[in-house]
Every structure is written in structure tokens, then in C-alpha cells.
Amino acid sequence: MTTLSNNAVTARAHTNIALVKYWGKKDENLIIPYTGSLSLTLDYFYTDTQVAFDANLTTDDVQIDGQPASAKTTARVSRFLDIVRQRSGITKSAAVRSTNHVPTAAGLASSASAFAALAAASSRAAGMNLSLTDLSRLARRGSGSACRSIFGGFAEWQPGTDDTNSYAIPIKSHGLADLRVIALTTVKGPKAISSRQGMRLSVTTSPYYPAWIQTAQADLVALKAALAAADFTAIGKISELNAMRMHALTLSADPDFTYFNGQTLTIIDLVKSLRHSGVECYYTIDAGPNVKVLCQSETTEKIVTTFSKVLGDENVIVTKPGPGVQYL
């Protein structure tokens, strides 16, 4: 990535996969969720973003993967930068150069890594030196799940009630060094229904949304207990069930919709078949057709071989727990 100026700051943030999902906002402007969530940051997928505030610019100049960002994306980035400008007192427009090492809008948490990296780079370029907690709060304003990508390993997003107390915290775990997440890609392009649209529709029309709030809260308590006990079986079962409960909201919305495609369903069946044959693994699916399989190091090769035959080697990627936000 070419350096914009001596004042430019570059940050890297990794995607995360929610094991207990975030699905639904009670405040869409501040991005305050109805429930808490818990995720694992992954090492393979990440975004590098460089930001420089420049008095010579009359408007924000945003490029992604070497191309000018769309008007919609530029507007979203500028709204986020307005928060940074307001809090820092800076008035300059910014040049933003972002490189995604993750498919965009396909359910692989590209917005999480993108806005976590943007929050880190832009706040420091504006002269702010934020704590990780305040950086998490700031990243949340761009994309809710971005607040969790500030931290490495496991992170819990505490929903809070307002802008001051809604942020992520790291969750310590022991005995899970051999945990692996196998990312299975069925589609690399944007999904037809954005996460924001999907959440809004689920919250406002699914008759099961109140039950989701209750079960998600219970799942979060159970998952934290499983992490504390390093109980891989419990972690997998809770994660898989929570994912399907989230996707049940999309099927029960009006109009109904789904993020699954045919290969998503094939993968689900294969994971269950592997498990029944003695290969312990579990699936989880965010807002998109792509699937992540939770397993342990000793079963990774068998699972990779199975899915490579179905999806091709290039669509089967083994990931490990990843780091928090970094400055490059």
C-alpha cells in the first residue's frame, strides 16, 4: 500500500466470526443491539486501511482495493469520519486507502474488519490516542460487529444502553490453542439482502424475535461457561444451534428470505455426516451463504479433504484465532 503522506496512519484489523450472533438493533443510529454477542477473531481474513487528513482535499477520497469506492460506500465512510472529525476537532477531509483480504458483503464479516481498521487509522490520524475500549465504541458506529474485531481471540460485545456503554471486551479462554475454523466459500460476491436490511426485517416482522432475545441471552451465558471450561463440544453445539436460531428469523420474516444457497445446505448435511462418523465438527453461518466449520487441529485434514472435493481447494481455508487491531 502506497503511503499517502507523512501524516498517514495505517491499521490492520481482522474479521471475526460470531459464535453467539448479533442480529437486530434497538437503536439503528448508534448501533445498539438488542442482545450481547460473542465472537472469535480470525487470522486469515483482514483489512488494511490507511488514512490521511489533507487540507488540500475538498471532500473525502475513498479507494478500496485500488478503485474509487461507490457513492454509497463513500457516503458511509464519510459519515463515520464525521464522527471522528467531531470528536477530534479536525475539519479536514480525508484520503482513505483500504485493501480487503476478505470477500466483501458475502457473510465473511468484511464490514467488521473494514470499520475496525478505519476506526483505528482515522482516530490516530486525527490525533486521538484511544483506549481499546473507546476504539471499540468508535468502531461500533461504523458496523456493529467491528467493535469485536478490535480485540484478538474471543470478544464479547456488551449491548449496553447508549453510546457510552456499548462496546466489546476480551474474553479469556484456556486450553483451546488447537481450535480451528475452516472457512467454506460458496459465493464471493455481495449478498442480495444486506445485514442491515435483514436485521430490520427480522426485528419488525418475525413473530419469533422476542424469543430470539431470550435464547440468545441464554446462549451467551452458556458459551462463556463452555469457554471457561475449554469444553469444545459445548462450544460447538451452542454455536451451531445459535446460528440456526438466527436464520430461523429470516425464514419467519414477512416477506421471508434466506441467506442460504444449495451449497450451504449441502455443507450442513456434510458436517452432520462427519460428526456422525466420529469426526467432531460444528458449523456456524453469519448473514450470507458461506459457512465456517469449528473443529480441532487433529480433525482438520479430514474435514479439509472432504470439503475440497465439493467446493475446490481454493474455497476451503483453514484459519486460527487471530490478533486484535494493529498499526503498521
pLDDT tens digits along 15-59 = 999 999 999 999 999 999 999 999 999 999 999 999 999 999 999
Does residue 71 carry a pLDDT above 60? yes
Q: 166 or 174: whose pLDDT is higher?
A: 166
Confidence of residue 110 (pLDDT cuts 50, 70, 90): confident
The pLDDT of residue 170: 97
CATH (one of 3.40.50.300, 2.40.30.30, 3.30.230.10, 3.40.50.720) for 9-174: 3.30.230.10
From residue 310, give the alpha-carbon distance in Å to each of 103, 167, 303, 315: 20, 39, 11, 9
Confidence of residue 177 (pLDDT cuts 50, 70, 90): confident
Confidence of residue 103 (pLDDT cuts 50, 70, 90): low
Q: Centre a 10 Å sphere on the Cβ of residue 263 and count the other Cβ atoms it contains.
A: 18
DSSP secondary structure letters along 248-281: HHHHTSSS---S--HHHHHHHHHHHHHHHTT---
Confidence of residue 127 (pLDDT cuts 50, 70, 90): very high
Confidence of residue 109 (pLDDT cuts 50, 70, 90): low
Handedness of CA 33, 39, 43, 44 (dihedral sign): negative
CB 50 within 8 A of CB 121: yes
The pLDDT of residue 106: 46
Q: Supply the mean pLDDT for the chain.
A: 94
The pLDDT of residue 62: 97
The pLDDT of residue 3: 61
The pLDDT of residue 278: 97
Contacts of range 23-28, beta carbons closer than 8 Å, 24 or more positions apart: 23/198, 23/199, 23/202, 23/212, 23/216, 23/246, 23/249, 23/287, 24/199, 24/202, 24/203, 24/209, 24/212, 24/213, 25/144, 25/199, 25/200, 25/203, 28/196, 28/200
Q: 177 or 275: whose pLDDT is higher?
A: 275
The pLDDT of residue 192: 85
pLDDT, average across residues 218-246: 97
The pLDDT of residue 176: 85
Does residue 245 carry a pLDDT above 70? yes
Does residue 188 carry a pLDDT above 80? no
Q: If one looks up domain 179-319 in CATH, what number appears?
A: 3.30.70.890
pLDDT, average across residues 93-122: 84
Does residue 178 carry a pLDDT above 60? yes
Does residue 195 carry a pLDDT above 50? yes
The pLDDT of residue 82: 98
Domains of the chain, residue spans:
9-174, 179-319
pLDDT, average across residues 252-263: 97
